[in-house]
Each structure stands twice: as C-alpha cells, then as structure tokens.
Chain A
Amino acid sequence: MRRKARMQAILLATLILFTFINLIPIIWGFLISIKQPADAFAIPPRLIFEPTAEFHIDVWVNRGFLSFLLNSAIIAAATVLISVPLGTLAAYGLARTRTKHAGKLLFGLLTIRMFPQILLAIPFFVMARWLGMIDTFPMMVMAMVAMNQPFTIWLMRSFFVDVPVELDEAAMIDGCNRWQAFIRIILPAVRPGLGVTALFSMLLAYNEFLFALILTGQHTKTLPVAIAEFGGEDINYWSISAAGAIGIMLPAVIFTLLVQRHLIRGLTFGAVKG
C-alpha cells in the first residue's frame, strides 16, 4: 500500500513538472507582457520585477486591436450563424436516412476536410478579386463557412445518432410531421451538442489565418493577421506584441473551459466520444 502511494506521488510530481515545462512558452509570453523591456530581456531572466499593465492597454486602445477584435467577432459570429443551422439540418438528415448513400456522402465530406486549404484559398482569392470583394466581410465569411461545413455536419451527426430513433417515431405517431418532430422534439434533445458545435465552429473561424491573410485588408483585418504583422523581430515591440498575444489567447482559454466535457468529440469529428 505504501509503495502504491509513493508511486502516485512520483507520478503526480512528474506530471506537474511536465505540465510546467509544457506551459513555459505561455508563461514566458505573459511575463514579457507585464514587464518593462529592461526587465524582460535581462540575462539571466529576472523573476522579481514591478508588473505593469501599460502594454496591455496600449495594444488594445492605441494600436487598434479593439477594432480587429470586432472584425474577428463579426466574422466568427456570422460563420456560426450560417454554418451551424445548415450543418445541423444536414446532420439530422444524414443521421436518420436509411439509404446506403449516406455513408458514402459522409466519407465524401471527410475527404473534403483533407483538402489542402491553400488549394481552396487560390480560387477564393481569384474570385474575390474578380468580384472586387477583397477586404469585405461576406467573402471571408463564405470562405469560413466552406471550411466549417463538413466539420459541423460530422460533429452534429454524432449528437443526433445518440438520440434514439424511437423518439422521432413517437412524435410522429402523436401527429407531428417530420419537420415538427425535428423542431419540437429532437432539436431540444441535442441542445448541448448544438452549443458545443457552435463553439467549435467559432474557434475555427477565430483562429483562421491563411484565409484571413489573403482575403482581409484594412477594414476587415482579424486579430491573428494583426498580431502576425506586428512581428516579433523588433525587440522594442516585444512587450506590446506579447500583450496582444496574451489577449488573443484568452477567448481560446475560456472556450476550453466551456467545452471541456466535449473536447475529444469535437477534436475527432464526433468519431470518439470522450
């Protein structure tokens, strides 16, 4: 028994040490963001210093990151509002259809996901230029819906599959048609899944970089593009850049806490239920 307790203690200590090492890049970034440059680049690294919030305020207020945040939020919200309802309908159809084609269709969707994004980025860029829609929200949202749709369908389908078909049948015996059964009975049953899918789609759109890099400009620039342009090269900008990076990271942290119970399902397109 004592041997077991000691094993557990060693295990726990190892894991805590590992976690700490694993998080060093984030912790270090955070420290840079609250240090004066003179403290941040002292060698050896200085651990006692006077923290400051000036860079956090500077980046969001003076450097326009608040407006980039607004752009990011508009794109993410519009993507979710289009992608999730469409994907939910399709997922329900796929989960309940009896034909064998459904399997093929699903596999087709998975193959779309393995497309190199850049192969889609090229025609989107050409199309946007041709339509004069570079640096507009609709173009970027369209691209994000395209990237999101297969994922949304897979994930929602896994939640619909969990709802017994008998529930649909009972509703229809009680006089509902398909549509009413879906809206009144089945949709409320998958409400948690709907929330999780919306959050995952939102995060995908929020984190997107490649499409944002080529399709957005002065008016629609998103946070990832803004922070990448800021660059880590010039040492004088490190503190501000670190403050921006930490700020951009926060929604992702909140997201993780919100979906923690469904992380694995979301990460594997619903294939593995955690």
Chain B
Amino acid sequence: MWLFMAPSVAVMALVLLYPFGSALYYSFTSYYLGGTNTHFVGLDNYIALLSEQRFWADMLTTMIIVLCSVGLQFVVGLAVALMLYALSGGVRVISLLNFLPHVVTPVVAGIFLKWMFVGRWGLLDATLIGLNIFPPDWLGDPLWAKFSVIMADTWKFMPFLMLVLYAGLQSFDTSLLEAAQIDGATPWQRLRHVILPMMKPLILFVLAIRMMDAFRFFDLVYVLTNGGPGTATETITLYTYQLAFRMLEIGRASALGVLTLLVVAGMIVGMILLMQRGGREAI
C-alpha cells in the first residue's frame, strides 16, 4: 500500500514540505531580497511584529471581517437551506442559481461587486440617489469599507454554506421531525431543539473550513479595496503580501505567515475540541 502513496508523498515533500521548511527558516533570518547580507536573527522578526501597532490593527481587522462574514453567511445560508428544505419543487434550479457566486473566479467576483459599491456610478449609489437618499462612501469610509468587504465575502461564500447545510438537512431521519411536529413543537422549537443539535457536527465542520479560508482571504479584498482606505480593510494576508512582494522583506513576511498559521491552528484546534465534545461522528 505504501508503494501507492510513495510518489505523492515524494512530490509533496518537494513542493509542500520543503518550501514550508524554508519559510520557517527565513522567519528566523534577516533575509531581504534587495540586499546580500542575510544572517540569523533568532526571534527578532517575531518580536518586532508583535510590538508593532500595524500587526495588531490588521489582526483585529481580520478577526472582525472573519467573524462577521462567517456569522452572516451562516445565518443566511441556514435560512435559505431551511427554505429549500421546505420547498416541494424547483429546488435544484434555485440552489444551482444561488450557487453561481461561489464558483465565479474570486477576482471576477471582486470586479462585479466593485460595480455595486463604487462611488456615483455603482449600482447601489445610482439606485439610492434615484430614491433621493444620500449614499455613504462604501469603499472610501473606513467603517463602510469594512462593511462592504464583509458583504462581499458573504455574497461569495453564502452559497457554500447553503448547499452543504441543505445536504445535511436532506440526510436527516425525518421521523424525529415528524415526532416533534406531532408533539406540537413550533417551527422555531423544532429548529432549536431538533434540527440544530442533529446538525451540530456538520455545522462545526463547515464553519471550521470557512474560518480557515476566510483567514486567508486575499483575492476579493485585493480587488475591492486593496486594504484601503489607508489600512482600514488591510487583513493579515494583505499585510504579508505587502511585506513580501512589495518591500521584499522575506524574513519578516515569513514570520508574519508563521504567526498567521499559529492563530489559524489555534482556532481550528478549538473547533476540533468542540467537535469532539459534540459527538465524534463529524467526519
């Protein structure tokens, strides 16, 4: 059996483990692509980052965007999934149509959404002005820009949650739901005490996937705001990108990447612990 795995393991060692190892190594050096003098600096990169205001501000921005957008996606996705579940016909067409935003190339999605939010000519502004409402500066105001990014992420990833949660609902044993209905449970009680507990492992699983991906969030913000205005929507990933590929500070950027990895890993370990408490049948 190991023979079957050997080629893949060899390739992954070359294209995944080796690069990861070198990034880890860079993070302890003063590697700068513009210069020649690289030496070992121990934890200096990490200490410098952790004592930097921009790092903490970006971490906070990332957390806000991740938590708000994943939360919003989940609520909307679950609502749509429940509606689809209650619907008797046309489910396939409706779910496929709603799934489209998810498969659209992320950069293209960013461009489509930019035409919604952009000042004056964007559809939102055009509509609101038509209704005599003065629109906010969707992408130029620090607070509204965060809102726009959250909405963009929600638009892109809600379909994912919708589809997976709908599949979860379908795999249900309906007898429990019917029993609850006969016992006179209101729809809300059925959701709260029957559906959600039964779906808990699946919910935690998809939320974990979404959190990992939302943390790496790059394409959409890059196109939509590129971190602006100022650094109001600058996520950790965008900052790493700036450090590595604009300032060529490879050592510092690698350290930032490793820190991001640690934060994500911490989050996921937390979710796995939750999952194990809530039943082991998740995967």
A: which residues have CB within 8 A of B? Answer: 8, 11-12, 14-16, 18-19, 22-26, 28-29, 32, 41, 43-45, 82, 86-87, 89-90, 92-94, 96-97, 105, 111-127, 129, 142-143, 145-146, 149-150, 153, 182, 203, 206-207, 209-210, 214, 223-225, 227-228, 232, 235, 238, 241-242, 245, 248-249, 252-253, 255-257, 260, 263-264, 267-268, 271-274
Contact = CB atoms under 8 A, between A and B. Distances in A.
A123 B22 contact: yes
Nearest to B257: A119
B207 interface: no
Contacts of B240: 116, 118-119, 122
Which 5 pairs, one residue from A and one from B, show the smallest C-beta to C-beta distance? A93-B4, A119-B257, A90-B8, A123-B19, A146-B15
A86 to B, nearest CB: 4
B206 interface: yes
B11 interface: yes
B275 to A, nearest CB: 12
B138 interface: no
23 contacts: A25-B101, A90-B7, A112-B12, A113-B212, A115-B261, A118-B216, A118-B253, A119-B261, A122-B23, A122-B244, A122-B250, A122-B253, A125-B244, A142-B15, A149-B16, A206-B105, A209-B222, A223-B105, A224-B108, A228-B111, A245-B112, A256-B99, A268-B164
A241 B112 CA distance: 10
Given A18-B80, A116-B261, 5 more contacts: A28-B112, A82-B11, A117-B218, A224-B106, A272-B168
A178 B269 CA distance: 38
B129 A28 contact: no
B133 interface: no
B4 A89 contact: yes
A87 B33 contact: no
A25 to B, nearest CB: 4
Interface in B93-122: 94, 96-101, 103-116, 118, 121
B219 A209 contact: yes
Nearest to A45: B126
B195 interface: no
Contacts of A209: 105-107, 218-219, 222
Contacts of A142: 15
B23 A263 contact: no
Nearest to A252: B103
A238 B158 CA distance: 27
- Chain A binding surface SS class: helix
B19 A146 contact: yes
B12 to A, nearest CB: 6
Nearest to B21: A123
A92 B6 CA distance: 12
B116 to A, nearest CB: 6
A15 B23 contact: no
A207 B209 contact: no
B14 to A, nearest CB: 8
Contacts of A94: 5
B163 A264 contact: yes
